[in-house]
Structure 1
Amino acid sequence: MPVIHHSFIFHSKPNPFTLEKSENNLLKWLRSLGPGMITAALVFGPSKMTITSKMGAIYGYSLLWLVVVAIFFMAIFTTMATRIGVATEQSLLATVRQKWGRGAAVAMGIGVFLVASSFQAGNSVGVGIAAGELFHTSPVPWILFFNALAICLLFFRSFYSVLEKTMIFLIVLMLLSFITTLFWAKPDAAEMAGGLVTPEVPEGSLGLIIAFTASCFSIVGALYQAYLIQERIRINPAVRHGRNDSITGIILLGVMCLIVIVCAAAILKPQGISVTSASDMAKALEPLFGSNASAFFLIGLFGAAFSSVIGNASVGGTLLGDALGLGSNFSSKQVRYLVALVMVIGAFVAIRFGKLPLELIVFAQSVTIFVVPFIGTVMYLVANDASIMGDKVNKPFVKVFAGLGLLIIFALALVNVKELFFNNPLFK
């Protein structure tokens, strides 16, 4: 008699403990994104949108590879700053003060404050233009309104939490608007792939390559990551031993740069439209795809500008406060006042001149030339010091590529010295 085997299938219920654990892990990861998202949002401002639009409008897809290179080095220095923030109980400038003296710390703090204040006008102008063109009004009321709103946000009891949520919202807003624009643009996938994997330096592109690399590989933005991580630790000490993901935010920074270049290559280059500001892309979209396409891009421009208004001012105020011994976190009222001061300076210059004056650009660039290589070197030396970093010290891979990044920073500084002091009509 044949033996009949009965097979039973048991439909077990999902283990609630497993689900809870996976949900907890997801929540922990999402919370860990905050500092990296803030850095990405403050780096991706109106000037970045103008540069990337020009790259696509003039050179098509051929400079896409540059985004990958710049983002790689930005990720190296941002993760390095994250480890510095986790490894040390004190702020980075306090470590600099201890290692090299008060003068070095004060020079770094004042230098970053001056650079942030000088470039803040461009962010305020970007907010005003984006909102003004969306609603067909003058940019001035919007400059006043959004700077006032940003200053109000400063005085929430937990400003860091407000900053984190605001920046994540603005990043999502930018991504949605740019992806929608990309859908309308219908780029050439084969040319995109070629631009990503085949490094090419088209004739006449060196100036834009230098400008993009210097703005995307932002040492000041990377430096601020150490302060953001320590602010998270101050609010929740358990974060020190948890996951701190700074890479995702930097990858999103690269994705946004890629999308704007691709949109400009697909929309502006075929029409031969020259770009003088980020809003030129919105003007080009309207006759092709209608007012909705233009509005979506302007919303992205607004997100980029408003995130930089808050983020850039936060960097300048925090670093100056730390340099002057007034505190290094947002619990200090003096730090909040200094952040507000950067916003007020930017709004005043934006309304008074309607743009970032050439003299102010020259001043900011001249300060940047000396401050950025100094900051990069300081971060590299601190992160290589096992007595400070412990088990968070730079590994050989990071030492090599961060060293290459430093060489790029110094090369950019030398090129900027030549352009600023020898080829600038103001100095002739």
Structure 2
Amino acid sequence: MITAALVFGPSKLTITSKIGAVYGYSLLWVVIVAIFFMAIFTSMSTRIGVATDQSLLASVKQKWGKGASIAMGIGVFLVSTSFQAGNSIGVGIAVGELYHTSPVPWIIFFNAIGISLLFFRSFYSVLERTMILLIFVKLFSFVTTFFWAKPDIGQILKGYTTPSIPEGSQGLIIAFIASCFSIVGALYQSYLIQERIRVRPELKNSKNDSTTGIILLGCMCSIVIICAAAILHPKGIAVNSATDMAKALEPIFGESASTLFLVGLFGAAFSSLIGNASVGGTLLGDALGLGSNFSSKSVKYLVALVMVVGASIAIKFGKLPLELIVFAQSVTIFIVPFIGTALYMVGNDKNIMGDKVNSTPVKIFGALGLIIIFSLAIINFKELFFNNPLFH
């Protein structure tokens, strides 16, 4: 649930709105592809977390040395911090639009709430409850919008079962798969499951399944695409941000619909604000030997640091600076294939995994997932360094 909540942030809401607005129902099949591979790697990460008492970065250090684990930890921290500003902006805009005020006070207020949650005695339990609540806020918002939209069921089925790549859609397909098939999110799953077991040791031998949360992630992506396809696509309304989607709903359904969608945007932004910061702080703390669980004060301070830096950038610039996006994408291009490979190799290692080692089907589909990850990295490398005006 936590993984699904942190992956479905403002950028996912924008990409899914845009897919439906521009290409209608035709790209719904992409959700199934991305969710399938996300489920494979998230379940792999869950089993790694259950199979061993040491953290994933400790297993990476055991297999490839200290340098590899430090590189992974610092890389994830840099990516999380770079993208954190977008989550702060999402929270500020969602609530600012609702109350017709500046986003800045809301950015400060909700980051302060996020930081205060860290210092509850059991941060994991608070995080779990908060994320589940926010998932249901998002689902309620988007499902209600779905029924308002009255989508074409036949076209929905066709979108899922008849894969097509409309002209000009390749960029959005790549963006969606890269963000939905989140290797960093899958990696963090192993830490979350260990934290869950630390808080409730009796869960060690129970079934720890990650599939439900990932299916919910797919449902949320699908519903937003379908809503945009039903409402915006026939009218030719383009969407460049999640707030555009909310504004576009207003003339059709009235203010209540846009308010409802902004509540969903707030849920997406606030869940990513806390979750994304937790990923960056935990991984850096583990890489530097400061601890890998939420009982460590150092980890809490590092999580808070990610929130403070993200909020500061959001307040100063009001949007993600292009240079910061380029920097984050550059780090992501190099770190994600490395993380995906590390997850796969640790999952295949019988000495570490014991009876939870990857099965043959998981090895096959995991290898296909790695091919996708490396292919996306090559495409993104080409786009970033050869087609980017900043490098000309």
1:114 is the counterpart of 2:114: no
Deviations 1:37-72 (A, max 9, x none): 000000000000000001000000000000001000
1:322 is the counterpart of 2:286: yes
Largest Rg, 1 or 2: 1
User: What's the offset of the Cα at 1:372?
Assistant: 0.2
- Counterpart residue number, 2:2: 38
Supply the distance in 1 between the matched residues of 2:309 and 2:271 (Cα, whole angstroms): 17
- The 5 Å alignment of 1:342-361 reads 342-361=306-325
Instruction: Compute the RMSD of aligned alpha carbons.
Output: 0.5
- Counterpart residue number, 2:117: 153
- Counterpart residue number, 1:269: 233
- Counterpart residue number, 1:22: none
- Counterpart residue number, 1:225: 189
- The 5 Å alignment of 1:203-282 reads 203-282=167-246
Supply the distance in 2 between the matched residues of 1:111 and 1:124 (Cα, whole angstroms): 21
Which amino acid is 2:355 matched to? D
Which amino acid is 2:248 matched to? A
User: What's the offset of the Cα at 1:195?
Assistant: 0.2
User: What's the offset of the Cα at 1:291?
Assistant: 0.8
1:135 is the counterpart of 2:132: no
Supply the distance in 2 between the matched residues of 1:176 and 1:113 (Cα, whole angstroms): 32
Supply the distance in 2 between the matched residues of 1:245 and 1:100 (Cα, whole angstroms): 28
Which amino acid is 2:276 matched to? N
- Counterpart residue number, 1:173: 137
1:338 is the counterpart of 2:270: no
User: What's the offset of the Cα at 1:380?
Assistant: 0.3
Supply the distance in 2 between the matched residues of 1:284 and 1:337 (Cα, whole angstroms): 40
- The 5 Å alignment of 1:282-297 reads 282-297=246-261
Deviations 1:132-158 (A, max 9, x none): 011111111100000000000000000
Supply the distance in 2 between the matched residues of 1:96 and 1:289 (Cα, whole angstroms): 52
Deviations 1:230-277 (A, max 9, x none): 001111222110011210000000000000000000111111111110
Alignment partner of 2:378 out of 390, 406, 414:
414
Supply the distance in 1 between the matched residues of 2:165 and 2:318 (Cα, whole angstroms): 34
- The 5 Å alignment of 1:305-316 reads 305-316=269-280
Supply the distance in 2 between the matched residues of 1:236 and 1:141 (Cα, whole angstroms): 37
- The 5 Å alignment of 1:90-105 reads 90-105=54-69
Supply the distance in 2 between the matched residues of 1:252 and 1:226 (Cα, whole angstroms): 19
Alignment partner of 1:60 out of 24, 33, 44:
24
- Counterpart residue number, 2:335: 371
Supply the distance in 2 between the matched residues of 1:270 and 1:128 (Cα, whole angstroms): 30
| TM-score for the superposition, normalised by structure 1 | 0.91
SS in 1 for 2:237: coil
Which amino acid is 1:366 matched to? S
- Counterpart residue number, 2:51: 87
Supply the distance in 1 between the matched residues of 2:56 and 2:252 (Cα, whole angstroms): 50
Which amino acid is 2:251 matched to? P
Gaps of 5+ in 2: none
Deviations 1:170-214 (A, max 9, x none): 000000000010111111110000000000000000000000000
Supply the distance in 2 between the matched residues of 1:409 and 1:144 (Cα, whole angstroms): 36
- Counterpart residue number, 1:403: 367
Supply the distance in 1 between the matched residues of 2:249 and 2:166 (Cα, whole angstroms): 26
Structure 1 runs (4+) greater than 2 angstroms displaced = none
Supply the distance in 2 between the matched residues of 1:236 and 1:126 (Cα, whole angstroms): 33
Which amino acid is 2:33 matched to? V
Supply the distance in 2 between the matched residues of 1:98 and 1:193 (Cα, whole angstroms): 47
Supply the distance in 2 between the matched residues of 1:329 and 1:371 (Cα, whole angstroms): 22
Supply the distance in 2 between the matched residues of 1:232 and 1:120 (Cα, whole angstroms): 24
